[in-house]
Amino acid sequence: MSRSRQTAVAYGLLAPSLFGVAAFLLLPILVVVWLSLCRWDLLGPIEFVGLDNWHSVLTDGTFGHSLLVTLLFVALVIPVQTALGLAAATLLVRGLPGTVLFRTIYVIPWICAPLAIGVLWHWMLAPTDGAVNALLGQRVEWLTDPSLALPVVAAVSVWTNVGYVALFFMAGLLAIPGDVHNAARVDGATAWQRFRRITLPMLRPTFFFVLVTGW
């Protein structure tokens, strides 16, 4: 097969994925950037205002606080859900009894609609008749207390996404050739050494993908 034909076949195989990336990632980004340069109330016509919206946001006194809260949220969510997802995936790939059931349980929160997740946890954390406060036997303002709201929302986000993270780590773990671990075991490597020297380095692409898309 000629080189040009190989290139054409490669692009043909990549075309569906490239179309998905362009349609569902690049195009929405371009639309959002364009709308950020316009004034639009969803009812009237779109009016181009240049960088006025950006200037308003950057000069707003609350912008710095909002940015700090967002960074704290990311700092809370990403490491925890990555660690829990990797731990769950490590257990699930061992083929222990009930693995299929636990895979389903992990994925359910991720496939549920965000609205359903919000309603569920809003009810569970309600200060008066919420399930959590009923178990604790005391009234706690989980969602309105400034010291609790961010950690609680971060915990809910971790609960929602840990199954998503675990699925990708499972795929990455199953892609590691078993012969590599067997050879290391024969050479006397401990389980921790195999995990640190073999598993983690070979999961770098999965780590990158999870860290970028996991939040």
d(CA 146, CA 130): 19
**105 is written with which tokens?**
């349980």
Torsion of CA 119, 123, 127, 130, to 10 degrees: -170
The residues spanned by each domain of the chain are: 1-59, 61-213
d(CA 40, CA 10): 42
Query: Phi and psi dihedrals of 110, rounded to 5?
Result: -70, -35
pLDDT for position 214: 67
Topology, domain 61-213: MetI-like fold (1.10.3720)
| Helix, strand or coil, per DSSP, at residue 125 | coil
Query: Which residue in 178, 165, 160 sits closest to 86, CA to CA?
Result: 165
Q: What does the pLDDT profile of the chain (215 residues) look like in tens digits? A: 566 777 777 777 777 777 877 787 788 889 999 999 999 888 889 899 999 999 998 898 888 889 999 999 999 999 999 999 999 999 888 877 777 787 778 788 888 888 889 899 999 999 888 889 889 888 889 988 888 999 999 999 999 999 889 988 988 888 888 888 888 888 888 888 888 988 999 999 889 888 887 66
Query: Which residue in 181, 214, 211, 212 sits closest to 199, CA to CA?
Result: 181
d(CA 165, CA 206): 9
- Say which residues have a Cβ less than 8 Å from residue 46's Cβ, sequence separation at least 6: 35, 38, 39, 40
User: How many Cα atoms within 13 Å fall on the side-chain side of residue 58?
Assistant: 6
Predicted model pTM: 0.74
Largest Cα separation within the chain, whole Å, is 74
